[in-house]
């Protein structure tokens, strides 16, 4: 009889998966061209012909616009910076409330605080882990000014419903598509549906420049405001004769020519690289579907999924085994990139104690905030249940899995599921 590796048996997988590497000779050549040119950056923080950056920045932005069929692309040094620039561009005021998911990277919410506005967490829907439009509607108050909606794990949110709610309440929408480049929502790319979209070029995304990001919009005014915030707005608005000075406090969010050169080459690979992740997910679907108590990812009709993460849900009550035990058993079998839980941002100390700037509870305790947001446990019941009990996932964008690797992952799952009785005894012994 096979013995689970957790209990002393031989693991199914003997080697760790390699970190994903999408950099090839094309990127090396592109970087060498920049180095030989001597122009590593060409931005000037004043109203000048070089305010918009050098030739590689310009080329990356034009290539992104063409690829995603969007009017304006703004290259930036990270998606976090992009979210900050986007929120400043739409005119967020101190004390405004912005609705956001708790089930996303922390920057989706902290970027709101950067403008002294207040994150309000709406729950996620059960199928795709994205922001639930009904919960968004329930969390709108007289102070709500915007929605930050993430396309989590590579699957687009219910964007039509979100945009309809925004239209009803005169709200702006920022789409955090950091994990979903190349995914489709109906006939549009994820990231291009909202007023502003933000993409990530961080090293563990589908394509990357090490660090970096791209903001996109079809609104010329929003594009200009993001360009200003990116590059020392306060020093530029006079020469550029900008009349709306709200949030024209600029940063240095500028991308380098080296990163832009890499990005131009990486963008050409996006469809192929996303397809690799989709094939891995299909192989996992075929291998794991039917395992009792395990739910594989759902892709909604009219959407495509690019699988930054392959998300799973476990019914531990049905199995009478905790998620922690199941995950430990799978990791012991040698699966690389397996992680339980995800984010419940409203449970972070920052929000529980409502302390951000200084020690006195700013911006929640300030004259300009008139609302009364709560971050108590229970406000996002689906997200909390998934975090506490049900969710675990395989980080297939972070690692390089071959077809053989995926076959072994499937074998590891089946080995664990075929010996659940061993895990039940293990749990009873006090795990």
Residue 213 lies in a domain: yes
Read off the pLDDT of residues 192-204 as tens digits, 9 standing for 90 and up: 999 999 999 999 9
Range of the domain at 63: 25-269
Determine the Cα–Cα distance for residues 75 and 254; give it in Å rounded to an integer: 7
Residue 245 lies in a domain: yes
Ramachandran category for residue 270: left, alpha or beta (phi over 0 → left; psi -120 to 50 → alpha): alpha
pLDDT above 90 (res 178): yes
Instruction: Give pLDDT, residue 393.
Output: 98
Residue 59 lies in a domain: yes
Instruction: Give pLDDT, residue 354.
Output: 97
What CATH number does the domain containing 168 carry? 3.40.640.10
Tokens encoding 345: 């941002």
Tokens encoding 309: 């993460």
Read off the pLDDT of residues 141-174 as tens digits, 9 standing for 90 and up: 999 999 999 999 999 999 999 999 999 999 999 9
Neighbouring C-beta atoms of residue 309, cutoff 10 Å: 25
Residue 210 phi/psi, 5° resolution? 90, -75
Question: What are all long-range contacts of 334-337, with beta carbons under 8 Å and residues at least 24 apart?
Answer: 334/5, 334/11, 334/12, 334/13, 334/14, 334/15, 334/16, 334/408, 334/412, 335/13, 335/394, 335/409, 335/412, 336/13, 336/16, 336/17, 336/399, 337/17, 337/394, 337/395, 337/396, 337/398, 337/399
- E strands, 225-372, in order: 294-295, 310-314, 338-340
pLDDT above 60 (res 430): no
Residue 391 lies in a domain: no
**HSE of 248, CA atoms in CB hemisphere, 13 A:** 16
Question: Beta strand pairing status for 188-189 and 184-185?
Answer: antiparallel
Read off the pLDDT of residues 331-361 as tens digits, 9 standing for 90 and up: 999 999 999 989 999 999 999 999 999 999 9
Residue 16 lies in a domain: no
Instruction: Give pLDDT, residue 426.
Output: 72
pTM over 0.85: yes
Tokens encoding 275: 């397809």
Cβ-contact 345, 106 below 8 angstroms: yes
| Region 95-119 average pLDDT | 98
Q: Which residue matches tokens 């616009």?
A: 65
- E strands, 254-410, in order: 294-295, 310-314, 338-340, 391-394, 399-400
pLDDT above 70 (res 431): no
Number of compact structural domains in the chain: 1
Question: Beta strand pairing status for 213-217 and 294-295?
Answer: unpaired
Instruction: Give pLDDT, residue 2.
Output: 87
Instruction: Give pLDDT, residue 429.
Output: 55
Give the model's confidence band at 427: pLDDT under 50 very low, under 70 low, under 90 confident, else very high.
low
Residue 50 lies in a domain: yes
Question: What is the residue-averaged pLDDT of the chain?
Answer: 96
Determine the Cα–Cα distance for residues 279 and 403; give it in Å rounded to an integer: 9
Read off the pLDDT of residues 219-235 as tens digits, 9 standing for 90 and up: 999 999 999 999 999 99
Residue 188 lies in a domain: yes
Instruction: Give pLDDT, residue 271.
Output: 98
Residue 223 lies in a domain: yes
């Amino acid at each position: 009889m096979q013995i689970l590796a957790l209990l002393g048996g031989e693991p199914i997988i003997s080697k760790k998966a390699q970190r994903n590497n999408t950099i090839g000779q094309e990127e090396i050549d592109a970087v060498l061209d920049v180095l030989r040119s001597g122009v590593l950056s060409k931005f000037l923080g004043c109203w000048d012909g070089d305010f918009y950056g050098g030739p590689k920045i310009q080329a990356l932005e034009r290539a992104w616009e063409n690829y995603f069929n969007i009017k304006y692309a703004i290259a930036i040094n990270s998606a976090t910076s992009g979210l900050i620039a986007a929120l400043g561009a739409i005119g967020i005021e101190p004390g405004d409330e912005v609705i956001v998911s708790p089930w996303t990277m922390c920057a989706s919410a902290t970027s709101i605080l950067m403008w002294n506005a207040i994150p309000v967490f709406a729950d996620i829907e059960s199928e795709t882990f994205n922001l639930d439009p009904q919960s968004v509607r329930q969390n709108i108050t007289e102070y709500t000014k915007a929605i930050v909606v993430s396309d989590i794990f590579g699957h687009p949110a219910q964007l039509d419903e979100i945009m309809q709610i925004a239209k009803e309440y005169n709200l702006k929408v920022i789409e955090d598509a950091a994990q979903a480049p190349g995914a489709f929502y109906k006939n549009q790319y994820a990231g291009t549906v909202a007023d502003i979209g933000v993409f990530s070029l961080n090293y563990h995304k589908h394509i990357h420049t090490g660090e970096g990001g791209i903001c996109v919009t079809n609104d010329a005014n929003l594009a200009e405001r993001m360009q200003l915030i990116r590059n020392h707005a306060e020093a530029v608005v006079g020469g550029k004769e900008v009349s709306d000075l709200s949030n024209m406090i600029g940063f240095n969010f500028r991308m380098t020519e080296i990163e832009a050169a890499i990005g131009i080459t990486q963008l050409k690979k996006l469809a192929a690289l996303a397809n690799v992740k989709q094939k891995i997910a299909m192989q996992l679907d075929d291998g794991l579907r039917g395992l009792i108590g395990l739910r594989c990812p759902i892709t909604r009709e009219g959407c495509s999924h690019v699988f930054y993460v392959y998300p799973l849900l476990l019914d531990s009550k049905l199995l009478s085994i905790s998620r922690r035990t199941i995950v430990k058993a799978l990791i012991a079998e040698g699966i690389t990139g397996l992680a339980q839980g995800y984010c419940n941002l409203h449970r972070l100390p920052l929000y529980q104690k409502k302390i951000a700037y200084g020690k006195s509870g700013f911006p929640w305790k300030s004259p300009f905030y008139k609302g009364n947001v709560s971050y108590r446990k229970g406000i996002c019941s689906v997200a909390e249940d998934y975090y506490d009990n049900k969710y675990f996932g395989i980080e297939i964008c972070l690692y390089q899995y071959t077809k053989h690797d995926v076959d072994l992952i499937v074998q590891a799952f089946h080995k664990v599921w075929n010996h659940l009785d061993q895990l039940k005894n293990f749990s009873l012994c006090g795990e």
